[in-house]
Structure 1
Amino acid sequence: MDRRVRQELGHFLRSRRERITPADVGLPAGTRRRTPGLRREEVAQLAFISTEYYARLEQARAPHPSSEVLVQVARALRLSDAERDHLHHLAGAPPALPPGPSREVRQSIVDLLDRLPEAAAVVLSATYEVIAWNSLATALMEDFSALSRRDRNLIRRVFLGPPWDSRRLYGVSDADEFARTAAHHLRTAAVRYPHDPEVTGLIAELRAGSERFDRLWDSHDVTDQPILCKTFAHALVGDVTVRCDVLDIADQDQRVVIYTAVPGSPSEEALRLLSVVGTQRMDVPG
């Protein structure tokens, strides 16, 4: 770690220390406090390291801190996730990756889906499991709440669905392109989560059960072309052509996929009908 980086690390630590009051961490304020925020010795105490060593970190005189020290300092300074990652990168010790893909969807994202009444929207995990959806998505695709986690995985569905089931991927027009893109994204997930049993198990299952996936996997491709438009072959309203927009939730390694129809098009009318009938089966006697 060169001098400039050590200085940047020191400035960052001091700025974070000075914004915390003793009361924030359960310490008495005392009297004659000459510095804003915590004292260096207080941070050292909270981080279980020596005051001398912490002072040297702020003064850009300390050797490379270990990951354990960085974790303890981040906890003592009450750093946010972004600040913690920044601290690790400054110290030349990038934070460890989470053990597996996150399946927790922020409430603000769930609320966003519900506020898109004219769009079908789902949230996909890094392994293409549908982990959140709105009502129009269930009408256009299927009722995901009625499925097991295993059956909500779109990669498994496209590669391992029964060959005679034309609805295995909701009759979409871009099934081949989707399959390639999903395989490429799964390879990226495998690098991020090399020890997660669900990721490794899914890959093993796909390689054993699908020659097509096995060939795609062996190609080692990680690039893909964005899918901007697709058509769903819906059993009730017929073909529904939609535009596809994907919003990345980078900190969660998730994607929000939003399907909208061109205003004034027959597909827009089809989506409006689906928003009314929902997941009802109109071809089955009541």
Structure 2
Amino acid sequence: MTPKRPELADFLRRSRERLTPRDVGLTEGPRRRTPGLRREEVAALAGMSADYYMRLEQARGPQPSVQVLAALAGALRLTEDERDHLYVLAGHRPPEGARAGGYLRPGLRYLLDRLDGVPVQVVSDLGDLLAQNDLALALFGCVCSVAEEDRNVVLRWFADPVVRAHFAAEEHEEQSRQLVADLRAATARRGGDAASRSLVARCRAASTEFGALWDRHEVAVRRSHPYRLVHPELGRIDLDCEVLATPAVDQRLRIFTPPPGRAAVLDELRVLGPRHLCE
């Protein structure tokens, strides 16, 4: 990313001018001619020289590091959105947001309950199934029929042949590649943390196919893709999956919709009700 020095300088100046000494715990002395904080005050709060900060506001000097930007974001009392904007203007990727783990925000649970006309799942960025509605359970119930620590769509795909049997055979190769490429991206975003390393190790142990695909180092985030399922009672079901972002960086909302004119299959699925397809 290329720094946008004039915009960065303008944003720093305006952010500084919006603050008062009282906002940051400083005493507001007499003869203060400029609005907001002085450059020297911001520099002191951020732990840098006044000359360095002045050069940033004058669109001069080197590209600031992420450590400098973090210090400035704190000194200027920036919100998360403002902090991310600061990083982008300085030519850096914004820091990753907060993770929710297995916790589902009340608003997300409410949305899951209200979207009862289509199959919906909440999954982690690593593929852990966190929640799903009844229609999704009717389609993918086998994932929930196992122990909680095994409810991972990547692990089940490579470790359990029964899971694959519910997908059209011509989709197997592409499904495998997409799952591994998406997991690669998630692992990189996490910096190879313990959870991602453990999952990769389990998948490697379960499947030589996974190991071969992982070693190809393909990366592709899954945002939308088709699903071609084989239901034991309804036969072939074609669905499109849209992957939506949530406020947590490690959770995704997956919504499965039928092609135009094929919505009747969801009514048939609703009649059958929740069931464990792999039992």
TM-score over 0.5 (shorter chain):
yes
- How many Å separate the matches in 1 of 2:143 and 2:38? 53
- Code of the residue aligned with 2:121 in structure 1: it is V
What is the CA distance between 1:71 and its match in structure 2? Answer: 1.0
Question: Residue 260 of structure 1 aligns with which residue?
Answer: 257
Question: Residue 239 of structure 2 aligns with which residue?
Answer: 243
1:123/1:37 CA distance change after superposition, 3 Å: farther
Task: Look up the SS of the partner of 1:57 in the other structure.
Answer: helix
What is the CA distance between 1:272 and its match in structure 2? Answer: 2.6
Task: Look up the SS of the partner of 1:195 in the other structure.
Answer: coil
Task: Look up the SS of the partner of 1:227 in the other structure.
Answer: strand
1:102/1:55 CA distance change after superposition, 3 Å: farther
**Alignment of 1:186 onto 2:183:** yes
What is the CA distance between 1:70 and its match in structure 2? Answer: 1.5
Superposition TM-score, scaled by structure 1 size? 0.74
- Code of the residue aligned with 1:259 in structure 2: it is F
1:16/1:146 CA distance change after superposition, 3 Å: farther
Q: Which deviates more, 195-204 or 222-231?
A: 222-231
Give yes or no for contact 2:99–2:249 (8 Å, CA) kept in 1: no
- How many Å separate the matches in 2 of 1:71 and 1:214? 38
**Alignment of 1:196 onto 2:193:** yes
- How many Å separate the matches in 2 of 1:248 and 1:265? 21
Give the total of aligned pairs.
Answer: 273
- How many Å separate the matches in 2 of 1:102 and 1:35? 46
**1:145-160 counterparts in 2 under 5 A?**
148-160=147-159
- How many Å separate the matches in 1 of 2:150 and 2:220? 26
Task: Look up the SS of the partner of 2:43 in the other structure.
Answer: helix
- Code of the residue aligned with 1:228 in structure 2: it is P
Question: Residue 74 of structure 2 aligns with which residue?
Answer: 75
Give yes or no for contact 2:44–2:50 (8 Å, CA) kept in 1: yes
Q: Which deviates more, 56-65 or 207-216?
A: 56-65
Superposition TM-score, scaled by structure 2 size? 0.76
Identify which of 270, 273, 278 aligns with 1:272.
270
What is the CA distance between 1:77 and its match in structure 2? Answer: 1.8
Q: Which deviates more, 55-64 or 261-270?
A: 261-270
1:68/1:140 CA distance change after superposition, 3 Å: same
- Code of the residue aligned with 1:172 in structure 2: it is F
- Code of the residue aligned with 1:190 in structure 2: it is T
* Residue segments in structure 1 that go unaligned for 5+ positions in a row: none
Task: Look up the SS of the partner of 2:141 in the other structure.
Answer: coil
**1:9-20 counterparts in 2 under 5 A?**
9-20=8-19
Give yes or no for contact 2:143–2:153 (8 Å, CA) kept in 1: no
1:219/1:66 CA distance change after superposition, 3 Å: closer
Question: Residue 139 of structure 2 aligns with which residue?
Answer: 140
What is the CA distance between 1:72 and its match in structure 2? Answer: 0.9
- How many Å separate the matches in 2 of 1:49 and 1:257? 45
* Residue segments in structure 2 that go unaligned for 5+ positions in a row: none
What is the CA distance between 1:74 and its match in structure 2? Answer: 0.8
- How many Å separate the matches in 2 of 1:51 and 1:214? 53
Q: Aligned-pair RMSD on alpha carbons?
A: 3.9
What is the CA distance between 1:116 and its match in structure 2? Answer: 0.9
Task: Look up the SS of the partner of 1:228 in the other structure.
Answer: strand
**Alignment of 1:231 onto 2:226:** no
Give yes or no for contact 2:21–2:37 (8 Å, CA) kept in 1: yes
Structure 1 residues 94-140: Cα deviation after superposition (integer angstroms, max 9, x where no partner): 45667999666555444332221101111232221223433432343
Question: Residue 88 of structure 1 aligns with which residue?
Answer: 87
1:219/1:52 CA distance change after superposition, 3 Å: closer
